[in-house]
A and B are shown apart, each in its own frame.
Chain A
């Protein structure tokens, strides 16, 4: 491997890093000011690429030249910035009062809407943008050809860094942004117009996302999968750099670019895992990334299940619901039972997450890891050990519990958004292992032939089997929430310092909560594997984690029964909308946004609030 090759590979890494930085920079600014984890940032990046790939060629027809090209890129970025403003004014501004996680759900609704609208507007085909005029020819570097546009890209990163730095240091807007990043409530108290500040930040963030996307058009064709492929990497960059830190994002982007450029030489088949491994290592060593600060005392996610008097009818109501559910096979056909089985499984899955988020205040973005570990544990037990369902499901539960104990040991040292991102990294590592360890897990083919034992194979018996297990485990978890252990978790959630002062061993309690929650999710995963007959890596993916979060948030994070209702509502919505129209993402996304706007505390939470208001 000669020197010139290494030099070129390093340049390749730098040019990828540049565009990644520009995009991630917007994400980190938006988070710093508004505390919104903006899942739609990748969608803005995609809109930027599509807009530029459509707009720039038209402009070039008018007058061909570098000026037109760069003006077109800038115009596209501004269009995206305006879309960001639209999202802020129409959607986010209405829910700043809601629990912060709710804004994440709203942005996820936007992701779904944008996916369909993009195809509607720009058509299904990938659009390759024009090359930059004046930068078509390659340059010779150490005897090898290198695209001159990539050199411009390499320069663009530091230029944007410099401009953003000037903006933050030399303008009043920048001062306010920095102030908001440090203490949002203080600047509100000082009379700063927050609405304007937030709108401005969203514009800047969206503009940068659009710029990142628009700059890609000479090297990447605009296509429908761009949003999700960039968002995971942008998260890694912002977290590794330290949430809210622009120079940190720059450093992290360069590191990741180099890691990818050289990683493919050493592990040509495991490119996915290295990036998330980096994130896990950095967070393990520096819990707040390179330049991040610990979050302000009091935490930002201190909403959750409140202590309340149990209604005297609670037991009766629970029994009645279980009774009705047990009677469902009398009227439902095979398909209704299948959907009901899935709802029960997701209810258990979402409920296990409630123990972490609602009770413990530990926001996990990677809960799919445990669901998937349970499913894979069961499937692997069937495939390699030829175990029957009765022992394979406990095997999956065990694997999930072990995984949760291991991941939890690292995670409980962190808090807030860093904790969430560490769980995301852990889940992505597990995902990458399942995806790329083809010999054992079957890679993306997954494992097929995971069918239930003969006695449980009918839809009715499998439904009743699922009902019995999920009901028992959910009741058990409810008992855990009301036990002293649950109160200890709540104490730690509401005030870490006070909880410690009265002698609670917070980390040990949280670690235990992680293990219990992971085991319950793993149980749900195992039952799910047998209901479908197969497992595949998507069970471990980000969308599955988002599903669990969505169910929890739709139902209501502050209520015990919320996740159960949320699971039912989301799954029924999906099941009803998907067959209706090929635009089901659009409809589902709009439904989620509508739920967010109408029920800002989740369905159960808002209904209860209405009732209490009337009382």
Chain B
């Protein structure tokens, strides 16, 4: 290292040493650390950022929490486990945040859970869906809001019973999220649909699907049901090739997340009608509280909400409630305030189950349909998460704590 960069460090060290005490002043804002894949998964995370920004502005306009304003320090997690924990470390040691929330990819979520456990800091996994975060790799510092793979796949498999499909094919991205969803699906379909079998499995690398070849390979197995876990650019390619080649005709399709606007809108009029999906029919939810959220969001950003928007909005309000009930930003106090806590959210009551730190937020399950130039959901119902959660015995068997 040269003297030039040394002086920079000296200057930085001095600056930090001097600014330290000042930052501790009474009315300083409460700092929350946020990290997400803003570059890699912009389609989801940019609306998500809008969502938390809106909640943050609302809360601070009403005076914040515990008499202090909230401040969110946001970073890009690079969509890799190493970058995410590195950024988290920066948020905790340099910015001095009171808790961490965010992240998108499941593998990143698991690394963050491990980090939270190691550094004994609260981490709220908003989006990552793999079961491991609340089961095998779960720990008392890690909480999740979205319904896990086990819950969402459970909702879908229930819909599969009626179709009578027995020969199933699986297509899933080859990383933690896809592997976890495929595993849960295999288990549940065998348990709940007698005589079901898996006839083909394709695991393209995330973001690198060879769509034509994948569709042909699935077609070759002649399945009467397909379980899809692809999302983002992989999904659009898969759908277009599948539509052209007639893969989806006379086939029951179960698809995770495809009804969420972030993945549905890019499909435009190519929406594969009749797929049974989990998603977010934001335009048809009539509950007044939710409508108020949608109106405010559209007025503020001149854009329709995505599921990410809703999630970002909900998470920040749940964090506010937690801090308020804990009465401080001590990690132990916040954990106590979170376990088995009930929250009143824009989509109704949500409980944070204490034994696995998994929220009971549900999902909207319905069928895809073309509405005008883009896709939407029809015949949907909101399924509360609670009945689909893993049983207490399963949780106790899986978790190490």
A166-214 CB contacts (< 8 Å) to partner B: none
How far is it, in angstroms, between the C-alpha of A125 and the C-alpha of B205 when the chains are bound? Answer: 21
Q: Out of B16, B90, B220, B244, name the residue touching A5 (CB < 8 Å).
A: B220
Report the count of interface residues on A (CB-CB < 8 A).
Answer: 81
Interface centre among B76, B211, B216, B265 (most CB of A within 10 A): B216
C-alpha gap A109/B219 in the complex (Å)? 43
- 1/0 per residue, CB under 8 A from A, across B174-208: the answer is 11100100000000000000000000011111011
Task: Chain A residues near B241: list those with CB within 8 A.
Answer: 147, 219
Contact of B75 among A124, A538, A578 (CB under 8 A): A578
B235 to chain A, nearest CB (A): 9
A280 to B113 Cα, complex, angstroms: 38
Secondary structure of the B side of the interface? helix
Residue of A nearest to B43 (CB): A125
Residues of chain A from 511 to 537 with CB closer than 8 A to chain B in the complex: 532-536
Binary contact track B3-46/A, C-beta < 8 Å → 1, others 0: 10110111011101100000000000000000000111011011
A446 lies within 8 A of B93 (CB): no
Which residues does chain B contribute within 8 Å of A354, judged by CB atoms? Answer: none
A578:B76 contact, CB within 8 angstroms? yes
Partner of B265, one of A119, A125, A448, A532: A125
Cα distance A338–B73 in the bound complex, in angstroms: 20
> CA separation between A335 and B8, bound complex, in Å?
14
Residues 528-557 of chain A, each 1 if its beta carbon lies under 8 Å from chain B, else 0: 000011111011000000000000000000
Contacts of B205 in A (CB 8 A): 271-272
In the assembled complex, the CB of A420 is this many whole angstroms from the nearest CB of chain B, namely 23
Report whether B42 and A565 are in contact in the complex, using a CB–CB cutoff of 8 Å.
no
A321 within 8 A of B: yes
Residues of B within 8 A of A63 (CB): none
Q: Mark interface residues in A372-405 (1 if CB within 8 Å of B CB, else 0).
A: 0000000000000000000000000000000000
Task: Check: B289 CB closer than 8 A to any chain A CB.
Answer: no
A219 to B86 CA separation, bound complex (whole angstroms): 37
Chain B residue contacts of A532, Cβ below 8 A? 82, 85-86
Q: CA separation between A522 and B190, bound complex, in Å?
A: 46
**B111 on the A face (CB < 8 A):** yes
Residue of B nearest to A222 (CB): B233
Question: At the interface, yes or no: A568 with Cβ under 8 Å from chain B?
Answer: yes
| Residue in B42, B89, B90, B236 whose beta carbon sits within 8 Å of that of A224 in the complex | B42
Report yes or no: B266 in contact with A125, Cβ–Cβ below 8 A. yes
Query: A128-B240, A261-B210, A268-B202 known; A334 and B93 CB under 8 Å?
Result: yes
Inter-subunit contact A336/B16 (CB<8 Å): yes
| Cα-based distance from A223 to B268 in the complex (angstroms) | 15
Are B176 and A445 closer than 8 Å at their CB atoms?
yes
Q: In this assembly, does B214 line the interface, its C-beta being within 8 Å of a C-beta of chain A?
A: yes
Cβ-defined contact, A225 with B207, below 8 A: yes
Q: B245 interface residue, CB < 8 Å from A?
A: yes
B81 touching A565, Cβ below 8 Å: no
| A340-B245 Cα distance, complex, nearest whole Å | 56
A462 to chain B, nearest CB (A): 13
Q: In the complex, are the beta carbons of B204 and A124 less than 8 A apart? A: no
Once A223-B232, A532-B85 are accepted as A-B contacts, the answer to whether A444 and B208 lie under 8 Å apart by CB is no
Contact of A265 among B38, B217, B244 (CB under 8 A): B217
Q: Are A335 and B94 in contact (CB under 8 A)?
A: yes
Chain B residues closer than 8 Å to A219, beta-carbon distance: 211-212, 237, 240-241
Given contacts A126-B43, A338-B93, are A333 and B244 in contact (CB under 8 A)? no
Known: A1-B220, A532-B82. A126 touches B39 (CB 8 A): no
The CA of A219 and the CA of B240, in the complex, are separated in Å by 7
Check if A146 is an interface residue, CB within 8 A of chain B.
Answer: yes
Contact A332 B9 (CB under 8 A): yes
The reply to whether A538 and B10 contact each other, CB–CB distance below 8 Å, is: no
Q: Does B397 contact A (CB under 8 A)?
A: no
Q: How far is the CA of A268 from the CA of B213 in the complex (A)?
A: 11
A295 nearest CB across to chain B (Å): 32
Residue of B nearest to A535 (CB): B82
Contact A221 B237 (CB under 8 A): yes
Closest CB in chain B relative to A198 CB, distance in Å:
32
A271 near B208 (CB under 8 angstroms)? yes
Encode B80-110 as 1/0 by CB contact (under 8 A) with A. 1111011101100110000000000001001
Q: In the docked arrangement, what's the CA distance between A332 and B1, Å? A: 15
Give chain B residues whose Cβ lies under 8 Å from the Cβ of A81: none
A436 part of interface (Cβ distance < 8 Å): yes
Residues of B within 8 Å of A146, CB to CB, are: 245
Q: Is the CB of B85 within 8 A of A268?
A: no
Residue A343 is within 8 A (CB to CB) of chain B in the complex: yes
Alpha-carbon gap, A584 to B39, bound state (A)? 10
- How far is the CB of B250 from the nearest CB of chain A, in Å? 14
Which of B1, B201, B204 is the one whose CB lies under 8 Å from A564? Answer: B1
A534 with B83: in contact, given A126-B266, A265-B217 (CB under 8 Å)? no
Min C-beta distance of B336 to chain A, whole Å:
26
Residues on A with beta carbons closer than 8 Å to the beta carbon of B82:
446, 532, 534-536, 538-539
Q: What residues of A have a CB within 8 angstroms of the CB of B338 in the complex? A: none
* B107 x A444 contact (CB < 8 A): yes
Q: Would A147 and B114 count as touching, CB distance under 8 A?
A: no
Q: Is A572 among interface residues, defined by CB-CB distance under 8 A?
A: yes
27 contacts between A and B (CB under 8 A): A5-B216, A5-B220, A15-B212, A16-B210, A125-B262, A126-B266, A144-B216, A144-B219, A145-B244, A145-B245, A147-B244, A147-B245, A223-B232, A225-B233, A269-B174, A328-B9, A333-B93, A444-B107, A448-B114, A449-B118, A532-B85, A534-B111, A536-B80, A536-B81, A568-B1, A578-B87, A579-B90
Residues of A within 8 A of B (CB): 1, 5, 8-9, 12-13, 15-16, 115-116, 119, 124-128, 131, 138, 144-147, 150, 218-221, 223-226, 229, 260-261, 264-265, 268-269, 271-272, 321, 324-325, 328, 331-336, 338, 340, 343, 347, 436, 438, 443-446, 448-449, 451, 532-536, 538-539, 564-565, 568-569, 572, 575, 578-579, 582, 584-585
What 9 pairs across the A-B complex have the smallest Cβ distances?
Answer: A124-B42, A12-B212, A221-B236, A223-B233, A448-B114, A335-B93, A335-B94, A147-B244, A536-B81
Q: Taking A116-B39, A268-B217 as given, write out 15 further A-B residue pairs in contact, using a Cβ cutoff of 8 Å, ordered by the A residue number.
A: A125-B266, A126-B236, A144-B216, A144-B219, A145-B244, A147-B212, A225-B233, A271-B204, A336-B16, A445-B176, A532-B85, A536-B107, A538-B82, A568-B1, A575-B90
